[in-house]
Structure 1
């Protein structure tokens, strides 16, 4: 590989890394991005301006106690194309076809079957005797494999956050809200010893989906 090709490959990797960090963390300044990537803030800004020219990122300014306001960078809706979309067009077409052929009852039956299969797959991969923390980590790993970019955070009060930074079925979930309702149901059935509450929702305009998970009293 020639020098120019190597530089282009390195540039693409860095920009993809920046996009992934913004997807997972939300609005972030150049200094923090630089710390994650191990490169200078100046280099990060050059990449950000290039991504901005492609309409993949934008920023808003945040006042700081000292100095000039900081630019907090975030992804634009156009950046969604860089992440798995779950074959959105095909899924929407199939949902419409099921509804047309079998009505709402048929669609509910389809969701029942999907829920059962998904629950069985998760239950076979997550030991029932595992701790709540272990179950959440295993669930996050499975969801990440499915394209949800999931992670678990432990809060000071002992509760957990299951965070999904991307929704690969967003278009389908927007058209069929039952998909989201069933996912919440699945999480509750996997985490039998916990209470699961959705606190942020991509479909409602949030950047991510977040589930607060607490042990039952």
Structure 2
């Protein structure tokens, strides 16, 4: 069996579990038309990738049998429309309650993020705080790089924006990110390039408060 076919079979197994719920090796074997040994080989691979989890289920007769279901990680492989829902809700709020409400919503998000991360930024030099901020943003999917300039300033670049669609329509997102960085770093922060304004990345120039 070639690798492409094996990958295709594993995708079918994931789809079966998504649409039908927990299944045993025997159930999958019958539906796929392959041997139980072949099914187990695919299951072993999926378990190693943390995409399946097993649970023992008692039978009316005989020994308990294992049934398999998707993990949370596997569920994330299937299409989601979270961003479209967010855009729809923000659009409705803007229409019903105006820009002031949207402004306050993003400000509250900024305040929440500040409270969440402030403890990680309390001590250390500006360089250490910039490094920690880069780590935080990478945890959130921003694909960050940073470097120190000879002048003692720092450049922090975000190559990805997980909320690009929101930022494109609501500039409050970019404004609040800048304010968040200023608060967390306790430093002067200037945005010199912005993805939401046609840039290839978001770039921040950071220096000590004067």
- Aligned equivalents of 2:182, 2:148: Cα separation in 1: 18
Aligned to 2:142: 148
Aligned to 2:102: 107
Say how many residue pairs are matched: 137
Does residue 91 of the first structure (1) align with residue 86 of the second (2)? yes
Q: Which runs of 4+ in 1 moved over 6 A?
A: none
Specify every segment of 5 or more residues in structure 1 that has no aligned partner in the other structure, as ranges. 10-84
| SS of residue in 2 equivalent to 1:214 | strand
Give the root-mean-square deviation of aligned CA atoms: 2.2
- Aligned equivalents of 2:3, 2:176: Cα separation in 1: 46
Aligned to 2:175: 181
> How far off is 1:86 after superposition?
9.2
TM (norm. structure 1) is 0.58
Aligned to 2:18: none
- Aligned equivalents of 2:121, 2:192: Cα separation in 1: 26
- Aligned equivalents of 1:159, 1:109: Cα separation in 2: 32
Larger radius of gyration: 2
Aligned to 1:166: 160
1:134-145 aligned at under 5 Å gives the runs 134-145=128-139
Q: Is the 8 A contact 2:188 2:207 kept in 1?
A: yes
> How far off is 1:156 after superposition?
2.1
Q: Is the 8 A contact 1:162 1:211 kept in 2?
A: yes
TM (norm. structure 2) is 0.60
Cα deviation 1:142-184 (Å, max 9, x = unaligned): 1111111112111122211111010110110011001100110
- Aligned equivalents of 1:5, 1:168: Cα separation in 2: 32
Cα deviation 1:92-147 (Å, max 9, x = unaligned): 112112212322222122112111111111213x2312211111111111111111
